[in-house]
Every structure is written in structure tokens, then in C-alpha cells.
């Protein structure tokens, strides 16, 4: 725990330096020139920077964290369980990166465009920097976590909790959950936009079913 916290702190300090660049990128990428980022309390911008740096540092130091977690539980695992653990950790990182990339390219532009559509002559968009950065990191974390679905289901199959037949029978429930997550991530009345977000989640579910069926679990 000490080494994990230490490297998280070091990674967060490194990420803090890049927070202004990240803020400039997100503002130029997702907001128009009429939107202003403001802070209403003396400490608000500083605390927002710290939170973003902490989240980014947690992700940057995640390989070290994963290593210490695995080495802590490894003595209690059987050989075949160790094999799956070491194989799937890199897959988990790749899936999280894919989910965060999907959020940057699809989810965030659509969502912020919808919210900014309420701008009128009587309503000027003034975003507090803390709320804006929190919204960005929240969407990134939500999509990154959602893309872990294949691993969650695969581990559940290894533990004997589910099998491919049960998952196929629960396909309608999976489609409903995909639509629910899409509705939360992109609160727009446009069914096509929601489908763009829900479709990858459903595809990940189908990949999980196929993977579990191939492994015979």
C-alpha cells in the first residue's frame, strides 16, 4: 500500500503539470467560443486541478497498482488462476483506453453539443471549471468502466456464476442495460445518438458470450 500510494502521488504530481494543457484541449475540442469557464471561489480552480491530477495519476500509476495487488494475492491462487490473471490485466488496460477514447470521440462531443443547444439570447453558458472537469472525467471513467464488461463476465464464468447459455437467455436484459447506460451518458432525445453509444456495449456483451462459449465455461 505504501509503494502504491507513493507512485500514485508521483504520477499525480506529473499529471498536475499537464492539467492546463488538458483544460485547453477539452475547451477547444468540445466548447464553442461563446462558452466561458469560470471559478466562483478562490480555491475552486486549484481543487479542480488537484482532482483531475489525482484521477489521471491513478490511471498512470495503475500498472504499479495492479502489480502490487497481483503479487499480494498470488500466493493464494492456483496455477491456472495465476495464468488468467496475468493474461487479462493487460487486456483490462487496453479496454479502459478504448472506452476512454470512445468517450472522447463520440460521447463527449454529442453530450456537450446537446447541453449547449439550450443556449439562447437569455441564457449564456458559463461553466464552472470544477464542474466541467468533473463532468469530463466522470464520462471518461464511466465509458472506461463500461468497456470492462467482457472481463467481468469472463471472470464470472470462471467462477461458475454464469455460462454462455444463461447470458444468451438474458440478452434482452443486456440490451436494456446497454440502452440505460447510453441514456445516462448521452441524455439526448435523439434515438440515433443513444444507439451509437449503446451499440458498442451490446457488441462487447456478444463478444463476452462468444468468448465464454469457446472456453467451455
Q: What is the per-residue pLDDT across 142-158, written as a single tens digit (0 to 9) for each?
A: 888 888 888 888 877 87
Residue count (the chain): 217
**What's the pLDDT score for residue 12?**
92
For the question of whether the overall pTM of this predicted structure is more than 0.85, the answer is no
**pLDDT at site 216:** 64
Q: CB 102: neighbour CB atoms within 10 A?
A: 21
For residue 103, name the pLDDT band (cuts at 50, 70, 90).
confident
Query: If you average pLDDT over residues 195-204, what whole number do you get?
Result: 80
Longest CA pairwise span in the chain (Å): 66
CB 174 within 8 A of CB 88: no
Q: What is the DSSP letter of 75?
A: G
| Rounded-to-integer distance, Cα 142 and Cα 108, Å | 12
19 near 52, Cβ under 8 Å?
Answer: yes
Distances (CA, A) of 1 to 4, 24, 42, 62, 68: 5, 34, 33, 13, 8
Domain ranges in the chain are 1-147, 149-217
Amino acid at each position: 500500500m505504501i509503494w502504491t500510494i507513493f507512485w500514485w502521488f508521483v504520477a499525480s504530481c506529473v499529471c498536475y503539470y499537464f492539467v492546463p494543457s488538458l483544460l485547453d484541449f477539452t475547451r477547444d475540442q468540445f466548447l464553442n467560443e461563446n462558452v466561458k469557464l469560470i471559478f466562483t471561489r478562490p480555491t475552486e480552480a486549484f481543487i479542480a486541478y488537484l482532482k483531475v491530477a489525482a484521477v489521471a495519476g491513478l490511471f498512470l500509476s495503475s500498472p504499479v497498482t495492479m502489480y502490487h495487488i497481483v503479487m499480494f494475492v498470488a500466493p493464494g491462487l492456483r496455477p491456472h488462476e495465476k495464468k488468467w490473471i496475468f493474461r487479462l490485466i493487460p487486456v483490462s488496460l487496453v479496454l479502459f483506453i478504448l472506452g476512454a477514447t470512445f468517450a472522447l470521440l463520440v460521447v463527449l462531443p454529442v453530450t456537450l453539443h446537446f447541453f449547449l443547444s439550450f443556449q439562447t439570447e437569455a441564457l449564456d453558458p458559463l461553466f464552472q471549471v470544477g464542474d466541467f472537469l468533473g463532468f469530463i472525467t466522470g464520462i471518461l471513467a464511466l465509458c472506461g468502466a463500461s468497456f470492462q464488461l467482457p472481463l467481468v463476465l469472463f471472470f464470472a464464468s470462471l467462477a461458475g456464476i454464469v455460462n454462455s447459455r444463461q447470458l444468451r437467455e438474458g440478452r434482452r436484459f443486456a440490451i436494456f442495460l446497454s440502452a440505460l447506460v447510453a441514456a445516462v451518458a448521452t441524455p439526448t432525445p435523439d434515438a440515433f445518438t443513444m444507439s451509437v453509444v449503446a451499440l458498442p456495449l451490446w457488441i462487447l456483451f456478444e463478444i463476452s458470450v462468444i468468448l465464454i462459449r469457446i472456453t467451455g465455461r
